[in-house]
Amino acid sequence: MNKLPELSIFFPFWNEEDNVERVVRGAIPIAKKIAEKWEIIMVDDGSSDNTFAISKKLAKENVNLVAVTHSPNRGYGSALKDGFNNAKYNTIVFLDGDGQFNFEEITKFLDNINSADIIIGYRKRRKDDFKRHILMYLLKIWDFIFFGFYFKDIDCGFKMFKKTALLDLMPLQSEGAMITTEILAKAKIKKLKIKEVEVTHYARKFGIQSGGNLYVVIRAILESFILWWDLKNGRF
């Protein structure tokens, strides 16, 4: 496999003090193997634990690591926007920082990056509780009805972008869980080429999931209506 000339990698973290070091250190040798120039951006979404302190420590040890934070906690979409805005290279990939993906599977994305603008993972067997599975199916239906697209796994936290494609989608507005819907809805309007690749999903070993709590769901519904209205009225 030929190395990429350059690659920006970022992980969104929220209260992941038990995962951040393991996830980042595990990604470093893979980044060295697949890219000539690379960076890993650790995005802290206003954590209340030691996530950012650990990120800063790691960044001091390696010039290729960057620690970014904002306060207070604003949501998944805000963390992704920080990652996108701080990425300096022409190919960008992000993985959720909860340790539920294997970064070595990035090779599946690299095999497709020359023929797609955006590559999105879909989890072969999602290792989440029943509630998260139900929410996933509801999101598929919701996005098909309101935005007219269907993908196998809309909210999978393993995605790759050409920076040129991201610039076509800016500015991104969603601060919460609807960020992926916003990206895909705008990509559909822009007629960007999207490919899907299968990835392995692992059970969470440390930390607590937050994506299925009531506040996150209600906020996602409100953001979805705002997005639909904006796109309907050509505000993009």
Question: pLDDT of 15-70, one tens digit each?
Answer: 999 999 999 999 999 999 999 999 999 999 999 999 999 999 999 999 999 999 99
By residue count, the chain amounts to: 236
What tens digit of pLDDT does each residue of 214-230 get? 788 888 889 999 999 99
**Residue 209: CB atoms within 10 Å:** 14
DSSP bridge partners of 194: 118
Structural domain count, the chain: 1
Q: Which residue has the higher pLDDT, 217 or 194?
A: 194
Full domain range(s) for residue 189: 4-232
pLDDT, tens digit, 9 for 90 and up, residues 86-115? 999 999 999 999 999 999 999 999 999 999
CB of 44 closer than 8 Å to CB of 67: yes
State mean pLDDT over 131-147.
Answer: 86
Q: What is the pTM of this model?
A: 0.92
In order of 56, 138, 141, 165, 225, the CA distances from 145 in angstroms are: 43, 11, 6, 25, 12
pLDDT value, residue 234? 82
Residue 100 corresponds to which tokens in the numbers above? 């539920």
Instruction: Round to whole Å and give the CA distance between 42 and 79.
Output: 10
Using the CB atoms, write b or e for 76-107: b if 16+ within 10 Å. bbbbbbbbbeebebebbbbbbbbbbbebebbe
> What is residue 130's predicted lDDT score, i.e. its pLDDT?
66
Report the Cα 2 to chain-centroid distance in Å. Answer: 25
**CATH at residue 42:** 3.90.550.10
What pLDDT sits at residue 147?
A: 95
pLDDT of res. 235: 77
